[in-house]
Structure 1
Amino acid sequence: MAITEPDVGLLTSSAQIFSSNHTLPQIRAIHKTLHVQVDDKATRLRTQVGGSYRELLGTAETIVQMRTDMEGAQTTLAGMGGRCGRAVVGGKVTALASFVDHEQEQSSLSLAARARLLEACSRTVGRLLSRTNPDLSANAASKTTKASARQQRHQNRQQQQSWGERLMLASKVLVLSRLLLSGMNEKSGDVPSSKTRSKQSALQDAAVLSSIEASKRTLGSLRRRLRDIIEVVERSVPTTASEKAAAEAEEADDDDIDGANEDGGDDEDAREQRDRNRTLSAAATARDDLLRALCAHSLATTSGARDVLWQLLHVRSQAMALAFEMDDEEHQNHHQADLGQQLLDCRASWKADNVLRGLALYTKTLLDVQALLPHRLPEALLGLKRRALLDDDALRQIEGLRLDVYSRWCGEDVQYFKPYIRHNDLDATQAREMLSKWAERGSEVFVSGLQKALEQADESSTDKPRPGQPPAIRRYLDMHAIVDLRTRVLQLWIHDSSKARGFDPSELLDKMRAVFNQQMLQVLATKVGKLRLVGSEVAATLASWQDGVSDRHAQLWGNSNTDKDYKAIDTDLSEGAVSFVRDVVTRLHGRSDVVAKAVTSYITWRHVVDDVAAVVDQLRKQRWDNDMDDIVEDEDTIAQRQQLLSKDDPQTLHDRLEAALDTAFQDLNTQIAAEWAAVAKSDTISATTKGNIAMYLVRVLREIRSRRPATSSSTAVGQLGLQIIPELHAAIVRVVVVSPLEQFTSKTLTRKTVAGRGLWDVAGTSAALPSTPSPGVFRFLRDLSTAMDTAGMDLWSPAAVAQLKKQVSEQLGEQWTKLLETADYLQETAEKTNGSKDDDEKEDTSTSSTEALSADDRRDLLKQWLFDIAWLRCSVGSDSASSTTGKKDKSKKKGIAELEDAVFKRTGLSEDKEANGSGSRTPQQRISKAALDYWKKTSLLFGLLA
């Protein structure tokens, strides 16, 4: 049960408290309550006493102040009464004149002080806008201590000012100078013209005015220079990541480098992270400078946020356009000392730099505008309006201005001036619309500039320069330069476009792909089409063909009698065997000077085509992943980009390369065939010359076919020259066989005696038959093989040898058959006449003779001919393959085969089999077998015919 607390207000004495009606807890509660009430009343009493005391003190102070005021009023009234006297008023009038002169002097001093401040402003702005980086802070003149070199360099870097800070200070100083000039009202008479002024004061005022005019002119030029430098800062772009890392590495402290070397160097991940941090830091610094430059432009021109953004976009668009307008003549003037290939490489370099600069300007504009708007730029502009201009700490720290001295001579319009800038006239929607329109126009400018930079100079132009004009140097970007530029441009766009918000990077990527693909296809077609130069070289050689000069080539073993211009092969291997092997191969393949020209032209073209194929392989191996840690791309986007850049584009190039190679080889084949057709139909060219030209064409075609592009599967490449090669072989054979056939016909076939008749083979009761060919036939094959060797061993492919055997067989059969039918001494009805020849009549000994042979001599001669024909059939006969087996196709006998049958019929030999030591064979079979055996023994003597 709870204890009821008694009411303290009803208690009047202590007895009531300690009565038996209250328990001990109740007494304690009463005691506590009484103490609380006592403390409360004491507090209220103290409060009332304190309030009353303060009121008394206030009343006392008021009384004292009233007394002081009364004393002051009495003193003033006494003074006024004392100054109202006649003498006092007269003294005031006298002093008034001197007071006017003092005011004039004060005005002159104020004007001189402001003129000095104006001069200081011009000097300060000049130093701020100079190329050097002056240290204008108040603490710049710090004493040199014994700190380490590393700390010294660190302090120097901290003391240096960036261009953004310098432009901000320069714009503020120019605003101050503008205020000073506007406050100097020369027409209202800042310099009073009083007659009482001294001549020295007038001269001083004139000097001040001339100083002000000079400062005006100086500040006007400095304002223009400020605007130019602001535009330079606005259109400046940071370097690439690798260049930034290299620049930062060069600026690294020596102690850090030495420490890294001692520790064995950082690992690759740490180095990449450090380079990335440096790159981000450099980009942030550049963006801060850009923000300060925009603020400086706003201060200098009192422009709002909207005007500042328009000015930035305008400057960037102009910079993008100018990046592609540097023409060849201007660049040649900058690099007049570099000629030849250096100039070509330099051209490719500056074209790539211009393209990368244009793209960097485009991407940097997108990123900068999105980073500065809608918050950073308005906040920075708002910060310029928060305090008076002369209260700016940066201005007061400039020692050259001396604002602590000159500020009191400035008027209130200068001392309390705050810049008025519209910072809230641009919202996020308007900024986004302006940036979108600029991005659309900027992409068109970049694509057109990229296309202009990739345009190829017309090498086929033969226009001569005008008199007094230097010849233009033909330059163009090759495939490697285009692919390198493509890689750098696309990597930069992929790296930076992923950071931009609200833009589809695939649109500009497709446009750039189209431009690069178009240019690469054009360069590919141009380079592959240069195969026509090989045909032009062949046509030029045929047009200027000279017998004995164009067809001269060195023999493998050398021949001092016929090849006087060619020495024997130098076998000195003291300096290596490269030159020896090259000389042997050149002579073995018949590479004369004219052949070497055409082959060299083709090899040059082949290297170009191989480079194109290597470029295609390089494009297929490229990876297009974005390596930024803070940007996560969709896997479908990466896969689609990889498909477009590393599969579709290379496949397009490969298909176009195949089509271009097919067309180029078809044109070359048509051109060479037309040249040979013109030579073959010409009546003014001898057969020997035609044969030499055919040798030249065969060698050229062989060299080209042996070096066909390995990557091409075109049928035109494989069919090059196959149409005219049989005609070329026929022309070569006609030249080679003409001399041996003439020698054989004129000397061998006219012989009536049989050499070696006593060595004929006699087997048992069989008739005696020859076992060796006649010396003339042997000499014929020797002359034929020698002629083939003289023409060149490289010419005699199996098809050429087959053509030679065919022609030799046909011509031998034709001439031998004609002799067999027309010679008198081979006819059985010829009468033997011993009469002497008439001195006035001379007949051809190859077709007739005045002396007829006896039957035995004629049969012996025909038997020897039969052996010779059988032996020739083994070497040059078209049916030699069937004759080796002793079987002949009667329906397909041509040339020597027909001749052999005709001679056999005239020999009188029986077609019946004879019994001899080797079995039962007919005489013809015995001769064929003996001829075949003899050919096997002697075939190696005629290597090309074997």
Structure 2
Amino acid sequence: MANQVPDPRTLSSWEDAFQYPLPVVRKLEQQLRKNIDDNRQKLRSLVGASYRDLLGTAEKIIEMDEQMQAVEGHLGDIGRKCSARAVERASENHARMRTTLSATESAKHGTMAQTKVLQSALSVAARTIKAGGDALLVSKLLVLARLLHKSVSETPNPPPILEDLRRKLAVLRRKLLTYIERALVKPTTERSTLAHTLCAYSLVSSSTPKDVLRHFLQARFEQLEASSEISSETSVLAMLDLYKQTLSDARALFPRLFAEALSQLSNVPLLQDKQIVSLYELNLDMYGIWISEDVRSFTPWVRHEQLVTSEVTSGLASWAKQAQATVLTAVKDCVSLNNDARAVLDMRKKVISQYLGLGSSLRDGNHAARIGDLRNIFMERMEQLAADSARPVHGVLNVVDKPSQQPSAMWDLALNDINIDGGASQFRQDVVDRRHGRDAQVRQSVNKLDGWMSRLDSFWNLAQQLRLMKWDDEVGLDLDDLSDGASVQDDLSKVDPQRVQDRFREAISQALHEMYSWVTQNAASELRAAVLIRMLREIDQRRLAVADRFGVSMGEASSSEAVSVLHRRLAEDISDSAVKQYADSVKKRLPPALALWDGSPPLPMQPSPATFKLTASLHRAMSRAGNDLWSPAAVNALKSLLDESITNALRSSLSTGVDMKTTLTNGHAASEDDMPNGVSKSATQEQTSDDSDRDLLLQSTFDAIYLQCVTLSSRVPVQQQSLQTFVSSAKAQLELGDASSRRLEKSAGEYWKRTYLLFGLLATGSN
């Protein structure tokens, strides 16, 4: 048959055994092991019998030698003393001597045998501990060793090695207690093994069942504390495993299973225990007859104070309270060191899922409250991470403190070599940067703001995943089985996600307020207004983005005052140089180009060169600053400032002239025939100078009307312009008629219409 086991003697080598099917090999293995065990037993019996025979032969030889010597001595004495009385007295003395010698030898053999058993027991105990064997067997061996040590120490002549054996016994006892501690904290240990281990502790320490329960719980609690010192997710999950296993083991072991295991120790004397008898290293079959009767009849005595279920429940409740506090502390320490929100959420899923599975083991009404404590630990950390993710990176704004280079024009891209092997993304980015005036330093801040937005998106996605987590699918029980399962499910899936999202929105709002506050505080500082405006625009874009993506409602940004200050500063920076040059030009009072005047009476048809140069300089300065800066509000601020400064320049240039009302009559200079008698030639020259002043004032009036078109703003009506006041005053001094005044205004307006495209940036914001 295929499954028939072959005869091992027919196999020539070990490889032949594996030519058969696996079941046959297994049966062959079992047969060989059985044969080995049988041969071992036979050999042990044979060796024991032979050893006893040999020992008996040796003893007989020694005894015969002694007897022969005694016979020779007697024969000698008989030879010397042949009297019957002497022989009789010698015989009596010989009998007494034999009795004394037998007692001495018996005591000596007993001491030697017990010492040998003591040494063997200690050696087997040490080897069993090292191999991770049964702790109960080791405790029985140590009890036996203690009894043998006491018996040998009470003999008249104890051996010198006894003191070393005593120290070795003390060391092994400490090792056994440590070994028991390690065995008790293993969560995977079977309960039968745990029961034996607890019995070993009770036997070696003479503890009551209540003390054993206390020691068991204390050992598990110390293991929890040791695991809590390692702040990692693995240690926390291991603590929960040990926590659950401890509750289950304690209820299963105490009081019934442990009491049953403990009662088996006192059934038979120690030297008749199966575990002790089976140890061939002790050689009890040879040395047993020499062991004292007290040791052979000793039966382990254990304290059988009854341990009731209520005491177990009370002890477990007290232990569970401390263990839960330790677990919560470990979770908090572990979470506080983790800066990865995704890892925190994963750990929250695992820890709470595992804790939910403890519901059947806890058997109390505070399960939901403890889950709430765990939730609060994770949610507090998530709120901190939400605040950290929304907090701007240090240096997002103050990078503009460094000097910066003006952004290049859009058309400068045509002069640069752009690598488009990977697509046009780099070209598109360069176009966007120049369109928005992003120089190298602003680009650094923009990159950091983009990174900030990326962190916000990542955290928001995690917060959304928090709401989508399913708990019934992951946990090995139905939450409906819990008395407050619906509340727990609602807290985990709705309350916690909403709490994180609210804190996240609050943190974003606070971060944006900090950015706006920074811009507001630095609006009047020495930082470049252009850079601050660009930064403010970037912040506004992010504010609109977070409002759309995350629902962060901030209302209107509280930076209108800062924007006004920045536009005013930008206008001052742009117009300062051009206005100064214009003021210097008009102060020279250069005569106007009368040849270009037209009409009757002749009136200016185009502005003075200084005025045209002013508008051109302003436009170039605005373009150099960046086209992206000139929003309608910024242009209006510039025009308001120009209206004031140009008016002041015109008034300053004409303040040295003579009042036209005292020198003009009906708008014309008096002729020489009309001069009264006695008027000198100097009066005629003065009249010529007055004509020049009138022409200059007329040209200045045209320039003012033209500049009114340039500085016309949608924010300030024409009637409220400073230039309008100057024009009205000049018209009154010139005493222009309505027709001349309308013709002058029409000429200035038509010239602006012909030239405003040259100054496109200045045209922004006009009516």
- Normalization by structure 2: what TM-score? 0.72
Q: Is the contact between residue 479 and residue 485 of structure 2 (CA under 8 Å) also seen in structure 1?
A: no
Q: Is the contact between residue 582 and residue 614 of structure 2 (CA under 8 Å) also seen in structure 1?
A: yes
How far 1:189 moved relative to its partner?
A: 1.8
Instruction: Give the direction of change, closer, same or farther, for the CA distance of 1:722–1:218 in structure 2 (3 Å limit).
Output: farther
For the residue of structure 2 that corresponds to 1:624, the secondary structure is coil
Correspondence 1:262-301 to 2 at 5 A: 283=188, 285-301=189-205
For the residue of structure 2 that corresponds to 1:724, the secondary structure is helix
Aligned pairs, number = 660
CA–CA separation in structure 2 for the residues paired with 1:805 and 1:672: 24
Q: Is the contact between residue 809 and residue 878 of structure 1 (CA under 8 Å) also seen in structure 2?
A: no
For the residue of structure 2 that corresponds to 1:129, the secondary structure is helix
How far 1:312 moved relative to its partner?
A: 0.9
How far 1:573 moved relative to its partner?
A: 5.0
| Residue 702 (1) aligns with residue 537 (2) | yes
| Residue 622 (1) aligns with residue 464 (2) | no
Correspondence 1:71-86 to 2 at 5 A: none
Question: 2:136 is matched with which residue: 165, 168, 174?
Answer: 168
Correspondence 1:207-222 to 2 at 5 A: 209-210=160-161, 212-222=162-172
CA–CA separation in structure 2 for the residues paired with 1:188 and 1:398: 26
1:421 maps to which residue?
A: 302
For the residue of structure 2 that corresponds to 1:878, the secondary structure is coil
How far 1:925 moved relative to its partner?
A: 5.9
1:911 maps to which residue?
A: 738
CA–CA separation in structure 1 for the residues paired with 2:688 and 2:232: 93
| Residue 508 (1) aligns with residue 370 (2) | yes
Q: Is the contact between residue 870 and residue 931 of structure 1 (CA under 8 Å) also seen in structure 2?
A: no
How far 1:775 moved relative to its partner?
A: 4.1
For the residue of structure 2 that corresponds to 1:647, the secondary structure is helix
How far 1:309 moved relative to its partner?
A: 0.8
Question: 2:747 is matched with which residue: 924, 927, 933?
Answer: 927
CA–CA separation in structure 1 for the residues paired with 2:434 and 2:100: 117
CA–CA separation in structure 1 for the residues paired with 2:655 and 2:475: 97
CA–CA separation in structure 1 for the residues paired with 2:291 and 2:652: 132
2:150 maps to which residue?
A: 182
For the residue of structure 2 that corresponds to 1:552, the secondary structure is coil
2:174 maps to which residue?
A: 224
1:802 maps to which residue?
A: 636
Question: Structure 2: 5+ residue runs without aligned partners?
Answer: 1-83, 670-684
Letter in 1 for 2:348: R
Q: Is the contact between residue 643 and residue 723 of structure 2 (CA under 8 Å) also seen in structure 1?
A: yes
How far 1:729 moved relative to its partner?
A: 1.5
**C-alpha distance after superposition, 1:620-674 (max 9, x if no partner):** 2323327555777437733211211222233333334444555555566556545
Question: Structure 1: 5+ residue runs without aligned partners?
Answer: 1-84, 135-162, 192-205, 238-282, 327-348, 456-474, 561-567, 680-689, 833-848, 882-888, 914-920
Instruction: Give the direction of change, closer, same or farther, for the CA distance of 1:614–1:807 in structure 2 (3 Å limit).
Output: same
Instruction: Give the direction of change, closer, same or farther, for the CA distance of 1:631–1:854 in structure 2 (3 Å limit).
Output: closer
Q: Is the contact between residue 824 and residue 852 of structure 1 (CA under 8 Å) also seen in structure 2?
A: no
For the residue of structure 1 that corresponds to 2:184, the secondary structure is helix
Instruction: Give the direction of change, closer, same or farther, for the CA distance of 1:828–1:745 in structure 2 (3 Å limit).
Output: farther
Q: Is the contact between residue 206 and residue 302 of structure 2 (CA under 8 Å) also seen in structure 1?
A: yes
Instruction: Give the direction of change, closer, same or farther, for the CA distance of 1:217–1:800 in structure 2 (3 Å limit).
Output: same
| Residue 787 (1) aligns with residue 645 (2) | no
Q: Is the contact between residue 635 and residue 762 of structure 2 (CA under 8 Å) also seen in structure 1?
A: no
How far 1:822 moved relative to its partner?
A: 4.5
How far 1:601 moved relative to its partner?
A: 7.0
How far 1:741 moved relative to its partner?
A: 0.8
CA–CA separation in structure 1 for the residues paired with 2:406 and 2:193: 74
**C-alpha distance after superposition, 1:877-910 (max 9, x if no partner):** 22599xxxxxxx67x3413344455556667765
How far 1:426 moved relative to its partner?
A: 0.9
Instruction: Give the direction of change, closer, same or farther, for the CA distance of 1:757–1:295 in structure 2 (3 Å limit).
Output: farther
| Residue 363 (1) aligns with residue 244 (2) | yes
CA–CA separation in structure 1 for the residues paired with 2:518 and 2:619: 33
Instruction: Give the direction of change, closer, same or farther, for the CA distance of 1:695–1:187 in structure 2 (3 Å limit).
Output: same
**C-alpha distance after superposition, 1:5-27 (max 9, x if no partner):** xxxxxxxxxxxxxxxxxxxxxxx
Q: Is the contact between residue 555 and residue 587 of structure 1 (CA under 8 Å) also seen in structure 2?
A: yes
2:646 maps to which residue?
A: 812
More off after superposition, 514-523 vs 174-183: 514-523
Q: CA RMSD in A?
A: 4.6
Letter in 2 for 1:805: K
Instruction: Give the direction of change, closer, same or farther, for the CA distance of 1:932–1:868 in structure 2 (3 Å limit).
Output: same
Q: Is the contact between residue 871 and residue 928 of structure 1 (CA under 8 Å) also seen in structure 2?
A: yes
Q: Is the contact between residue 353 and residue 471 of structure 2 (CA under 8 Å) also seen in structure 1?
A: yes
Q: Is the contact between residue 733 and residue 803 of structure 1 (CA under 8 Å) also seen in structure 2?
A: yes
Instruction: Give the direction of change, closer, same or farther, for the CA distance of 1:633–1:387 in structure 2 (3 Å limit).
Output: farther
2:124 maps to which residue?
A: 124
Q: Is the contact between residue 754 and residue 864 of structure 1 (CA under 8 Å) also seen in structure 2?
A: yes
1:22 maps to which residue?
A: none
Question: 1:738 is matched with which residue: 548, 552, 576?
Answer: 576
1:776 maps to which residue?
A: 610
CA–CA separation in structure 2 for the residues paired with 1:666 and 1:880: 28
**C-alpha distance after superposition, 1:916-944 (max 9, x if no partner):** xxxxx952464255234314543448687
CA–CA separation in structure 1 for the residues paired with 2:621 and 2:178: 84
Which structure has more helix as a fraction of its residues?
2
Correspondence 1:536-551 to 2 at 5 A: 538=398, 550-551=402-403
**C-alpha distance after superposition, 1:275-316 (max 9, x if no partner):** xxxxxxxx5x45454333323222322333222111111222
CA–CA separation in structure 2 for the residues paired with 1:621 and 1:874: 62
Question: 2:208 is matched with which residue: 290, 299, 304?
Answer: 304
CA–CA separation in structure 2 for the residues paired with 1:570 and 1:720: 43
More off after superposition, 354-363 vs 723-732: 354-363
**C-alpha distance after superposition, 1:547-583 (max 9, x if no partner):** xxx34324314999xxxxxxx9664556876666666
Q: Is the contact between residue 553 and residue 592 of structure 1 (CA under 8 Å) also seen in structure 2?
A: yes
| Residue 645 (1) aligns with residue 471 (2) | no
- Normalization by structure 1: what TM-score? 0.60
Q: Is the contact between residue 243 and residue 323 of structure 2 (CA under 8 Å) also seen in structure 1?
A: yes
Q: Is the contact between residue 355 and residue 449 of structure 1 (CA under 8 Å) also seen in structure 2?
A: yes
Question: 1:431 is matched with which residue: 301, 309, 312?
Answer: 312
Question: 1:829 is matched with which residue: 654, 663, 676?
Answer: 663
Q: Is the contact between residue 137 and residue 275 of structure 2 (CA under 8 Å) also seen in structure 1?
A: yes
Correspondence 1:451-530 to 2 at 5 A: 451=332, 479-480=341-342, 482-502=344-364, 504-521=366-383
CA–CA separation in structure 1 for the residues paired with 2:417 and 2:135: 76
**C-alpha distance after superposition, 1:801-856 (max 9, x if no partner):** 22112211222233224435654598882899xxxxxxxxxxxxxxxx9995685x
CA–CA separation in structure 2 for the residues paired with 1:305 and 1:592: 80
Instruction: Give the direction of change, closer, same or farther, for the CA distance of 1:808–1:112 in structure 2 (3 Å limit).
Output: same
Correspondence 1:835-914 to 2 at 5 A: 868-878=703-713, 892-902=719-729, 910-912=737-739
Q: Is the contact between residue 353 and residue 475 of structure 2 (CA under 8 Å) also seen in structure 1?
A: no
Letter in 2 for 1:169: L
Correspondence 1:707-726 to 2 at 5 A: 707-708=542-543, 709-710=546-547, 718-726=556-564
How far 1:224 moved relative to its partner?
A: 0.9
Question: 1:729 is matched with which residue: 548, 557, 567?
Answer: 567
Instruction: Give the direction of change, closer, same or farther, for the CA distance of 1:801–1:861 in structure 2 (3 Å limit).
Output: same
Instruction: Give the direction of change, closer, same or farther, for the CA distance of 1:712–1:396 in structure 2 (3 Å limit).
Output: same
CA–CA separation in structure 2 for the residues paired with 1:634 and 1:850: 113
Percentage of identical aligned residues: 26
Letter in 2 for 1:427: V
CA–CA separation in structure 2 for the residues paired with 1:853 and 1:943: 38
How far 1:433 moved relative to its partner?
A: 1.8
Letter in 1 for 2:147: L
Letter in 2 for 1:487: K
More off after superposition, 111-120 vs 659-668: 659-668
Instruction: Give the direction of change, closer, same or farther, for the CA distance of 1:699–1:91 in structure 2 (3 Å limit).
Output: farther
